[in-house]
Structure 1
Amino acid sequence: MKKFKPQPGFVVQAYRFALDPNAAQERALRSHCGAARAAYNWAVARVEASWWQRRAEESYGIPEAELTQWRPWSLPALRKAFNEGKHSDPRCAHW
């Protein structure tokens, strides 16, 4: 990795923070981390399902024009799909 060199006349400072949550804060942090992991797993499963479906269709000899559409992997597209699906997906019911 290339070493960072500041421009002449500039100073680089670094800070390190440590979290020391109490019991309630730790539960909240764990809950948020779990929710973030669940959302990530949801996004990966959504995109992979599309990929595997296309792969199966290709093995059946289905023409390219008739294959399942690719699902976008961009953050805005996934966020929009997640927000639309979280009201109907039973995995998101407790949020």
Structure 2
Amino acid sequence: MRTIQAYRFALDLTPGQERAVNAHVGAARVAHNWALARVKAVMDQRAAERSYGVPDELLTPSLSWSLAGLRKAWNAAKAEVAPWWGEVSKEAFNTGLDALARGLKNWADARKGGRAGGWVSPVSSRAAVAHRRCGSPPARSASSPTAGTWCCRGWAG
């Protein structure tokens, strides 16, 4: 049996670092919500076309739910959807797309009976309230190429 230890860290951010972190989190949410809206729009369009008797070969082309497919669609639209995209790491957007790709796969698997429990439709990513926590053990550091180095106060969790 393998034991996995998880840790949780609070970041002691400067105001500038907090703005940078929030920008990256917001970028992930923008990409996630944009791609989810695209997926839902294509699914709804195809369902409407089927209800009108449109043959399968003439339906609106489906959108790939894989991370690679979502990323390709995002890269084609990011200049219009998020003209500020160059101000944050591309991995911030990728994080939102990755979460959506995994969520859509889990949703599809659950609908087909491939996952335990009921299925829930994917939802938009929402802003969460950030809580700062400080305490022992001693501070460590974490870093990001675009947001700098942060002081972390960690605890096992």
Q: Relative to 1, partners in 2 of residues 1:12 and 1:71: Cα closer, same or farther, differing over 3 Å?
A: closer
RMSD across aligned positions (CA): 1.7
In the alignment, which of 66, 70, 75 is matched to residue 78 of structure 1? Answer: 70
Summarize the alignment of residues 1-95 of structure 1 with structure 2, pairs less than 5 Å apart: 5-6=1-2, 13-87=5-79, 89=80, 91-95=81-85
The answer to which structure has the higher helix fraction is 1
Which structure is higher in RCO with an 8 Å CA cutoff and minimum separation 6? 2
Cα distance in 2 for residues equivalent to 1:45 and 1:80: 15
Q: Secondary structure at the match of 1:86?
A: helix
- Aligned pairs, how many? 85
Cα distance in 1 for residues equivalent to 2:36 and 2:83: 19
Structure 1 runs, 4 residues or longer, greater than 6 Å off: none
Provide the TM-score with structure 1 as the length reference.
Answer: 0.78
Amino acid at match of 1:74: S
1:12 CA displacement = 5.8
For structure 2, which runs of at least 5 residues remain unmatched after alignment?
86-157
The answer to which structure has the higher strand fraction is 2
Cα distance in 2 for residues equivalent to 1:82 and 1:75: 10
Identity of aligned residues (%): 53
